[in-house]
Amino acid sequence: MTKAESDHYAKLARLGCILCQQNGITDTDTPVEIHHIRRHGQPRKTAKTIPLCMWHHRLANTSVHSLGHRGFQKYWGWSEEDLYEKTEELLNDNY
């Protein structure tokens, strides 16, 4: 991992879970995991990334890894790309 990638991931981690925030949950201390939005066999290294808590990332039945791309969007009303755009807005406002 490059220093630039490490710095970017640290900024994402400081933002907190983007889905929790979109659902009005802002007082959580749950650590963030970096989710890579990969499409059509895209390499992880070039994928867009968003910060998700472990529940929204991989643990719950309603996580992105449990539901898949379409199921996640259908359940939560937000696509991964929507959450990426919101993440970028927050990064631009904070850094």
Q: Are 53 and 20 in contact (CB under 8 A)?
A: yes
* Separation CA 13–CA 66 (nearest Å): 22
Residue 42 has pLDDT above 90, yes or no: no
Quote the mean pLDDT of the chain.
90
- Residue spans per domain, the chain: 3-94
3-state secondary structure of 1: coil
Residue 90 has pLDDT above 80, yes or no: yes
Choose the CATH number for 3-94 among 3.60.15.10, 3.40.50.300, 3.40.50.150, 3.30.40.190: 3.30.40.190
Q: What pLDDT band is residue 1 in, cutting at 50, 70 and 90?
A: confident
pLDDT for res 26: 77
73/1: higher pLDDT: 73
Q: What pLDDT band is residue 29 in, cutting at 50, 70 and 90?
A: confident
* Cα dist from 77 to 4, 81, 95, whole Å: 32, 12, 27
Give phi and psi for 35, each to the nearest 5: -100, 130
